[in-house]
Amino acid sequence: MSKIGFIGLGIMGEPMSRNLLKAGHQLVVFDINHLAVSSLEGAGAEAGVSPKDVASKSDIIITMLPDSPVVKTVLLDKDGVIEGARKGSIVVDMSSIAPLVSREIAEALALRGIRMLDAPVSGGEPMAVDGSLSIMVGGAQADFEELLPVFKAMGASAVLTGGSGAGSVTKLANQIIVHLNIAAVAEALVMAKKAGVEPELVYKAIRGGLAGSTVLDAKVPLMLDRKFDPGGSLNICAKDISNVLETSHRIGVPLPLTAGVMEIMLALKADGMGELDHGAIVRFYEKLAHVEVGREP
């Protein structure tokens, strides 16, 4: 098997790395969090001292990082991946960043003979842990096929959606649907509660019909149990929606509903809830209606 470098061992990257190790891949890891690196060393990974060092020891370099500026720094700056990667190696950025940045990075790497796929994921921490992520990929067909065994160690599905940047565009579309869905669920449950009908019974009644969705099943039980530990924090999701709106403005596509969800997220962040799960969108509506969605005692 090819030797894989993995940079970014956060809430998603750490379990994804562990699944690569379980699948038998050799791994070199790096993160500014030394405890995360030590934990992966204990599971059998080799520690790198910098992105450049990781790249010099790897055939495939995966990044899972917070945002566009961090990805550009790790991949393109001094001591970055571009300085250590060999010609013909492949970078797989699995972060959620702006498509134009994905294309810019791919062009810079190509000048050094380094291939790139943008391959953001959906599924949050639970699916990162159990290896069932959905992986959306942009890049060359041959590179995608070469990386399929690696993707299968981390996800239940991997789909090539087009050329460079297409994976990032697909992730933006995913984030629109997910967050509008969460907001719709939150509105519905708060309305039901205010009208005197138990949200849990509403959920049970509608989940088998047209209103049923993966979001409904994943988020309603957590809302009812008041569990808002981040699988995807509002801070990270607001970053994704900011990328959605920036991209839509550049290409002239109005997204009024998505803009509304962004304002909800900003209000929650202003109330100190940025590190809560995006299911905490329900708390915005609860505050307006002066009710709390929850299970009956």
Q: Where in the chain is the domain with CATH 3.40.50.720?
A: 3-163
Please give the biggest Cα pair distance in the chain.
65
pLDDT in tens, 60-104: 999 999 999 999 999 999 999 999 999 999 999 999 999 999 999
- Dig out the tokens for 30 from the structure: 């790096």
pLDDT in tens, 194-251: 999 999 999 999 999 999 999 999 999 999 999 998 777 899 999 999 999 999 999 9
Decide the pairing of beta strands 3-7 and 60-63: parallel
Q: Are 153 and 22 in contact (CB under 8 A)?
A: yes
Q: What architecture is the 170-289 domain classified under in CATH?
A: Orthogonal Bundle (1.10)
* Bridge partners for 95 per DSSP: none
| Nearest CA among 65, 51, 70 for reference residue 121 | 65
CA 57, 59, 64: angle at the middle one, nearest 5?
A: 90
Decide the pairing of beta strands 26-30 and 3-7: parallel
**Over 90: is that where the pLDDT of 139 sits?**
yes
**Identity of the amino acid at 278:** H
**Over 70: is that where the pLDDT of 41 sits?**
yes
Q: Where in the chain is the domain with CATH 1.10.1040.10?
A: 170-289
Residue that is written with structure tokens 């940045």 in the block: 101
Cα–Cα dist 65/72, whole Å:
10
* pTM to 2 decimal places: 0.90
Cα–Cα dist 231/145, whole Å:
29
Give the C-alpha distances (Å, rounded to integers) separating 182 from 7, 92, 158, 188, 194.
Answer: 30, 29, 24, 10, 18
Q: Is 205 helix (H, G, I), strand (E, B) or coil?
A: helix
Q: Are 40 and 7 in contact (CB under 8 A)?
A: no
Q: Which residue has the higher pLDDT, 132 or 231?
A: 132
* Bridge partners for 30 per DSSP: 7
pLDDT-derived band of residue 273, with 50, 70 and 90 as boundaries?
very high
Catalytic residue (one of 87, 152, 171, 219): 171
DSSP codes, 238-269: HHHHHHHHHHHHHHT---HHHHHHHHHHHHHH
Q: How many helices and strands, by DSSP H and E, does the chain display?
A: 14, 9
Catalytic (active site) residue 152 = no
- What does the pLDDT read at residue 24? 94
Cα–Cα dist 270/16, whole Å:
31
pLDDT-derived band of residue 1, with 50, 70 and 90 as boundaries?
low
Q: Are 240 and 232 in contact (CB under 8 A)?
A: no
Residue that is written with structure tokens 């239940």 in the block: 156
Give the C-alpha distances (Å, rounded to integers) separating 139 from 91, 107, 110, 239, 286.
Answer: 11, 12, 12, 23, 43
Cα–Cα dist 271/133, whole Å:
31
Residue that is written with structure tokens 């839509």 in the block: 248
Fold of the 3-163 domain: Rossmann fold (3.40.50)
Cα–Cα dist 137/120, whole Å:
7
